[in-house]
Amino acid sequence: MAYNLKQVVAEKPSRFTSGHRMCAGCGAPPVARHILRALKPEDHAVVSCATGCMEVSTFIYPYTSWTDSFIHTAFENAAANIAGVEAAYVSLKRQGKLPQDHETKFIVFGGDGGTYDIGLQSLSGAMERGHDMVYVCYDNGAYMNTGIQRSSATPKFADTTTSPAGTKIPGKMQPRKDLTKVLAGHHLPYVGQTIAYMNFKDLYEKAEKAIYTKGPCFLNVLSPCPRGWGYPTDDLMLINKLAVETCYWPLYEIIDGKYVVNYKPKNKLPIEEFLKPQKRFKHMFKPGNEWMIEEFQKEVDTRWQELLDLEEMGNK
């Protein structure tokens, strides 16, 4: 009998239940649901969640959307939190207080504010120490939970409440940090960049690899925000598609230091296709602002070519 990924995944019970209070059209709930689906049904998970949209909307005491053990922690220390839990489990096994075959996975969910910025030191430390854990960044490109302030994940020229687009300054003036490559510099066994697109296959498979690779692993998942990005709630999957097809958000993984690009669009779309549906970029389409789109396109093309070059170097 042929292996049917769709059937196997569909038959798994959801470990991230409905009834949460995330916004309609938010990219984060599909991310959490499908990453947890990658767990084997018999395995237990401990989830640490940094303060942010996902935490405040999924764990409103006494209600929870998480069926596994869940710890809400501060913005800045979600990685340190789960690292401590993982170390405690290792100790309990060593002491004989847990059976050696007791399988528990340790997963962190944090937004870009709690990952790219406030939690970077904690994340870097946990990765360097080699804890057996997976850190998942659901990247919505700003501090959405506290009022849509810019983060280092916010793309250049985006309009936010702390980088407003006006007559003098056209939005955020700094390019977006490439956190996936920052984590690759930690020489981890597995790093993946993905999104909820193409029947969730890429997201699911990378989650499975990260969870069942021994040691510290990292997933960076683009998670559009209808409030902060300004798109209709039913356009979530369209935005995801355009992010990939324009190469704004390439799908790739780094396995023991080797880059693998998982998807190369046959007809790479111009970046305007990704920018135009989002209100945070509407000022870029005003007469006289064409240079912003050109500059944005140049940056996307440069990063895409750098990624292709890294893959080619690894294949030599």
- Residues 234-248: tens digit of each pLDDT: 999 999 999 999 999
pLDDT at 316 over 80: no
Tokens linked to 141? 């490109």
Domain that holds residue 258: 5-315
Question: What is the tens place of the pLDDT at every residue in 67-100?
Answer: 999 999 999 999 999 999 999 999 999 999 999 8
Q: What is the C-alpha to C-alpha distance for residues 299 and 293, in angstroms, rounded to an integer? A: 10
- Amino acid 294: pLDDT: 98
What is the distance between the alpha carbons of residues 15 and 26, in angstroms, rounded to a whole number? 18
Contact yes or no for 189/219 (Cβ under 8 A): no
Query: According to the model, what pLDDT value does residue 211 have?
Result: 98
DSSP H helices, 106-257, are: 120-129, 179-184, 201-211, 236-245
Q: What is the pLDDT of residue 31?
A: 95
Q: What percent of the chain has pLDDT over 90?
A: 89
Mean pLDDT over each residue of the chain, to the nearest integer = 94
- Could you give the number of structural domains in the chain? 1
pLDDT single digits (tens) 199-223: 899 999 999 999 999 999 999 999 9
What pLDDT sits at residue 206? Answer: 98
**Distance between CA atoms of 91 and 88, rounded to whole angstroms?**
5
pLDDT of residue 5 exceeding 80: no
61 pLDDT band (50/70/90 cuts)? confident
**Which tens digits make up the pLDDT trace of 96-146?**
999 988 889 999 999 999 999 999 999 999 999 999 999 999 999 999 999
Predicted confidence (pLDDT) per residue in 282-313, tens digit: 999 999 999 999 999 999 999 999 999 999 98
Q: What six digits make up the tokens of 133?
A: 């854990």
Region 140-154: what's the mean pLDDT? 97
pLDDT at 2 over 80: no
Residue-wise pLDDT tens digits, 7-24: 567 788 889 988 899 999
Q: How far apart are CA 275 and CA 301, in angstroms?
A: 15
pLDDT of residue 4: 56
Q: What is the CA radius of gyration of the chain?
A: 19
Percent of the chain surpassing pLDDT 70 = 97
Give me the pLDDT at residue 232, please: 97
315 pLDDT higher than 80 = no
Cα separation, 305 vs 307, whole angstroms: 5
* Residue 307, domain CATH: 3.40.50.970
